[in-house]
Amino acid sequence: MKSILLIGLGRFGRHMAQKFNELNQEVLAVDIDEERVNDILPFVTDAQIGDSTSEAFLSSLGVRNFDRCVVAIGDDFQSSLETTSLLKDLGAPFVLARASRDVHAKFLLRNGADAIIYPEKDMAVRAAVKYSADNIFDYISLTPDYSIYETEVPVWWVGKTIVQLAVRTKYHINVLALKHGDNDMEPLPSPDHVFRGDERMLILGRNKDIERFLQL
Ligand code: ATP
């Protein structure tokens, strides 16, 4: 279990609070708006009304003691930047900041953010890839060059094994798992697994190789 300080309870912050709650994390939620603080109470360990750009207020929360601090303020970049920078100055071990523009991401990283979440961009990229072809069901970018795709088994693979197809050497991809329906996952299939037409694969590889394989 992690202890999390979540600052900013707009739609984004609320979704995060609800998911942290499902994951049994210990969350202190903060917002300047009293109504938003009251609404989140059922989902968090504690919640406080306050201005996160106030050093005295942030200091009173003991930010050093949280494993993660999340700055979920999106539109008000000034507040987001000041909060991020103050958190780091006060000794927060890990600050995740929300960006809504490329330039914001850059400044947040320069001013204390350890990591950035950029929801509009991240989701736009994911949706664009996912809906670029009928045979892609999901996509996760790992680095700018490597990704995991969930895709159907090509018809010419059906009835053959991973070894017979020389998946790694010929296509430069790794089959991480096979999915049968939505809930049945077979991780790390053996080299002699015989591909079926009704299964999906999770494949990992360099974007260029996967795009070539999927004929994107
Ligand atoms: P979302 O896009 O998540 O729906 P929003 O559009 O309502 O958010 P944002 O400006 O992104 O508004 O702010 C997110 C939340 O952060 C709001 O609930 C706002 O009250 C809170 N907030 C903004 N500035 C501060 C601050 N200085 N201290 C504490 N909370 C703040």
15 CB within 6 A, ligand 1:
no
Which residue's alpha carbon is nearest to atom 11 within ligand 1? 74
Which domains, and CATH codes, for the chain?
Answer: 3-117 (3.40.50.720), 122-214 (3.30.70.1450)
Which of 31, 52, 117 best tests ligand 1's pocket when mutated (most atoms within 8 Å of CB)? 31
Q: What is the pLDDT of residue 82?
A: 98
Which regions in the chain score pLDDT beneath 50?
A: none
Token pair 């360099």 in the structure block, residue: 206
| Burial of 34 (C-beta count, 10 Å sphere; 0-12/13-18/19+) | exposed
9 CA distance to ligand 1 middle (Å)? 6
50 CA distance to ligand 1 middle (Å)? 12
Q: What is the pLDDT of residue 133?
A: 83
118 CA distance to ligand 1 middle (Å)? 15
Q: What is the pLDDT of residue 11?
A: 97
Alpha-carbon span 5 to 68, nearest angstrom: 6
On whether the CB atoms of residues 142 and 125 are closer than 8 A, the answer is no
7 CA distance to ligand 1 middle (Å)? 8
Alpha helix stretches (DSSP H) within 23-136? 34-40, 55-60, 77-89, 102-110, 119-130
Q: What is the pLDDT of residue 132?
A: 86
Q: What is the pLDDT of residue 181?
A: 84
Q: What is the pTM of this model?
A: 0.84
On whether the CB atoms of residues 17 and 9 are closer than 8 A, the answer is yes
Q: What is the pLDDT of residue 135?
A: 87
> In this structure, what token pair is assigned to residue 43?
């989902």
Neighbouring C-beta atoms of residue 24, cutoff 10 Å: 8
73 CB within 6 A, ligand 1:
yes
Q: What is the pLDDT of residue 40?
A: 98
How does pLDDT run across 119-166, given as a tens digit for each residue?
Answer: 999 999 989 988 988 889 999 999 989 999 999 999 999 999 999 999
Rg (CA), the chain: 22
On whether the CB atoms of residues 41 and 105 are closer than 8 A, the answer is no
> In this structure, what token pair is assigned to residue 172?
């430069």
Going across the sheet that includes 146-152, the strands are 136-141, 146-152, 200-206, 173-180, 184-187
